[in-house]
Amino acid sequence: MERLGGLLRRAQRLSPGPSQTIYKRVEGTQQGRLEEEEEDGEEGAEPPAHFFPMELRGPEPLGSRPARQNPGLWEAAGRRAAPYLVLTALLIFTGAFLLGYVAFRGSCQACGDDVMVVSEDLNDELSPDSHQGTLYWSDLQAMFLRFLGEGHLEDTIRQTSLRERVAGSAGMAALAQDIRAELLRQRLDHVWMDTHYVGLQFPDPARPNTLHWVDASGKHGEQLPLEDPDVYCPYSATGNATGKLVYAHYGRPEDLQDLRARGVEPAGRLLLVRLGVINFAQKVASAQDFGAQGVLIYPDPADFSQGPNKLSLSSHRAVYGHVHLGTGDPYTPGFPSFNQTQFPPVQSSGLPSIPAQPISADIASLLLRKLEGPVAPQEWQGHLPVSPYRLGPGPGLHLGVNNHRASTPISNIFGCIEGRSEPDQYVVIGAQRDAWGPGAAKSAVGTAILLELVRTFSSMVSNGFQPRRSLLFISWDGGDFGSVGSMEWLEGYLSVLHLKAVVYVSLDNAVLGDDKFHAKTSPLLISLIENILKQVDSPNRSGQTLYEQVVVTNHSWEAEVIRPLPMDSSAYSFTAFAGVPAVEFSFMEDGPAYPFLHTKDDTYENLHKVLRGRLPAVAQAVAQLAGQLLIRLSHDHLLPLDFGRYGDVVLRHIGSLNEFSGDLKARGLTLQWVYSARGDYIRAAEKLRKEIYSSEESDERLMRMYNVRIMRVEFYFLSQYVSPADSPFRHIFLGRGDHTLRALLDHVRLLRAGGPGATSSQVARGLGFQESRFRRQLALLTWTLQGAANALSGDVWNIDNNF
């Protein structure tokens, strides 16, 4: 007892005044650590306001109040020991709490879509204003906009457009090294280059292309000057073509069918067609299907901006465009052009067998004045000084094309920011670097936006942002020859990319005006695009978001904004060839198109004038759209891809097929298989949606399993029953070939051959409906759609269909 009394007296001497124990949270890299502080002060002192102290008052000093008379020894000892017993219990409770807290943090790597954990790399020096702790969506958005606003987009566009950028040129090689050096300066995790040796076609300076009149005896007459001798059609067939001239409007299959209906036969003739509506390659392919000998393509003023205050293309200018109906190197179809000697000498089926040549509006006027025959329909009339336009035929013409093929090295440049949690999943963004001519709108804008996004995301990473998935930035070469650089890369790494590439964002053709906004995209991205549009300010309507701008003119924002992916975009190859969802953003003029694309007049000055000084603001809006899309795709725990959208796509196409159900039934045929497969896909999508809704987002393994199924939905729509070498675009909705839904619909329309919509090449060759072909098409389409439904269902034991 004496020892206990001595111990208590000693403790009392060590505590001369009232004491309090404060437990407070300490901010720093180890979140949740508690620190105990002993604070001594005068009696009655208040704890700091921002703490929530857990306070234990020790015994008061002797003499502070009257002593109790004759206390018992055990009672006094118990009263004095109580604070220490409570303190011991409190320490035990605190230790248990900390263990529980650490265990909870370890099991919650994904605590919601809005949380980002700051880099744990202690070697990275964060700036003084960097976030210490978690970064929420609003933080990331503000950080992105702040760093993006520090760039110099306009200067980069101007400087890039002044440099020579023809694929394979010395100027392009120098620019490639400069861009690689810029990526290295941004301290990305990985920077590298890929070089491909591809077959490109160029004009022969010693033997320029020619156009001559031909007299009745077949002798060459006066030569017509090609006012832009450097302008040509890459991948045109070389050689000579002779025939009478016929005017064929835009050169679409329906235009050529209309010519035939009016008694003007396109077979054996040279066709004069207008620029626009479809691309050069499609015009030449249609002409070839209908038996034409060659094609001349000209820009009609009716298709471009008119008016005293509008810039227009000079009547002396011709427009450049390749005529390969496909993408990539047409001399190594289906294979990457790392070394052409590895492969047999094959050519793409998309290469034309007839020559094609661009001509100016002035030369087209001379040709149209010579035409005879029926007057062209009113909607075919243009704005050249010729009235009226006639269909022909006219005098004979001789076209000579002497382009030559050259094996040319092209280089793609890559920069990567590795993801924190899923580095093997890539969010890819790319822009074409090359251009025929100045290429301000064609590729300088996209290249400038790409470099600004690299700089912005690098700054964000230095200030605490850590994407879950890797960001892959790419500068493509050979784009003006048909997305050659991007397609060769896809062909080289197809077996890897369909497992790892989440989404591709294209920056090509981003600014061609400022009146309208289009998103050419896979259906999987439509919902995410809608969300992003509501968060980006309109570049030309103060106080409105882009979403508010588009719904003013059309309450259906999708009808106003969403467009299918065009073949002349690198995004098309990602989706139709590799099965990776893709998007390409474009601001457009309201009305006629930007007139200088693919010409020598596509300069920074002309683009700036067309946009009336708003080029920096519009380019900034594209950068904001693309950047916020990248943040969502690289940051969200669950990929924000709407896999249910394809059910609506199938339903829309089936609606078109239903029109012919009676014709098919009369032949003992049915579309029931397609209906059944579509139903299975809808059920699989709804089942996956419910699974995700009822699951725990903190379960990292489960989230990754869901993400793998979601990101491969696009790949599921690549037909597994056709060869990539024979039919590279295997996508049943976007691709080309007999396996596609479009081909099936065109074929079914032949049941009413000669009616509206019967526009396929089979009509041109006089072929009708073939039951055996229909059955094969139906099988290819149905089993691809059924396979997508099965894959979306997950494991084989989860598949539930009555197919």
Can you give the residue ranges of every domain in the chain?
Answer: 137-200+407-635, 202-402, 644-751+768-793
| 177: Cα within 13 Å, side-chain hemisphere | 5
SS3 723: coil
- β-bridge mates for residue 276, sequence order: 278
Which of the two residues, 124 and 615, has the higher pLDDT score?
615
**Can you give the pLDDT at residue 121?**
34
pLDDT band at 307 (very low <50, low <70, confident <90, very high): low
Average pLDDT over residues 10-39: 41
CA distance 207 to 232: 13
pLDDT (0 to 100) of residue 556: 86
The answer to whether domain 137-200+407-635 and domain 202-402 are alike in fold is no
d(CA 494, CA 728): 11
pLDDT band at 170 (very low <50, low <70, confident <90, very high): very high
Average pLDDT, the chain: 83
Q: What share of the chain is helix, strand, coil (3-state, %, to 5)?
A: 40, 15, 45
Average pLDDT over residues 165-183: 95
pLDDT at residue 133, as a whole number: 55
Start-to-end CA distance of the chain, whole Å, equals 88
Query: Is the pLDDT reported for residue 43 higher than 70?
Result: no
pLDDT of residue 572: 96
Q: Is 205 left (phi over 0), alpha (psi -120 to 50) or beta?
A: alpha
pLDDT band (50, 70, 90) for residue 122: very low
CATH of domain 202-402: 3.50.30.30
pLDDT of residue 724: 79
The pLDDT value given to residue 689: 92
Q: What is the pLDDT of residue 308?
A: 59
316, 362 in Cβ contact below 8 A?
yes
Neighbours of 342 (CB within 10 A): 10
Mean pLDDT of 552-573: 89
User: In the structure encoding, which two tokens stand for residue 465, read together?
Assistant: 């942002």
What percentage of residues in the chain have a pLDDT greater than 90? 56
Helix axes 546-553, 526-533, angle to 10 degrees: 110
State residue 81's pLDDT score. Answer: 67
pLDDT of 33 over the 60 cut: no
- Name the least confident of 336-345, 418-427, 684-693: 336-345
Highest mean pLDDT among 5-14, 125-134, 726-735: 726-735
Q: What is the mean pLDDT of residues 250-256?
A: 96
The CA distances from residue 709 to 185, 420, 425, 716, in Å, are 37, 21, 13, 10
Residue 129 pLDDT more than 70? no
Higher pLDDT, 795 or 323: 323
The torsion angles phi and psi of 39, rounded to 5 degrees, stand at -120, 125
Decide if 393 contacts 368 (C-beta within 8 A): no
98 vs 365, more confident: 365
Question: Domain 137-200+407-635: which topology?
Answer: Aminopeptidase (3.40.630)
pLDDT for residue 232:
96
Q: Say what the pLDDT of residue 362 is.
A: 95
Instruction: Name the residue with higher pLDDT: 344 or 130.
Output: 344
Name the percent of the chain lying above pLDDT 70.
80
Q: What is the pLDDT of residue 800?
A: 62
Asked if 425 and 437 touch (Cβ cutoff 8 Å), the reply is no
Render pLDDT for 460-471 as a digit per residue (tens, 0 to 9).
999 999 999 999
Domain 644-751+768-793, classified CATH 1.20.930.40, yes or no: yes
When pLDDT is cut at 50, 70 and 90, the band that residue 20 belongs to is very low
> How much is the pTM?
0.81
Place of tokens 């000697």: 341
Helix locations, 511-578, DSSP H? 526-533, 546-553, 557-561, 570-572
Residue 358 structure tokens: 């661009």
Q: Note the pLDDT of residue 686.
A: 92
- Containing H/E element for 107? helix 73-107
The answer to whether 402 touches 208, Cβ cutoff 8 Å, is: yes
Least confident of 8-22, 193-207, 313-327, 586-600: 8-22
Beta carbons of 670 and 545 less than 8 angstroms apart:
no
In the prediction, which pLDDT does 117 show? 33
Identify whether the C-beta of residue 410 lies closer than 8 Å to the C-beta of residue 489.
no
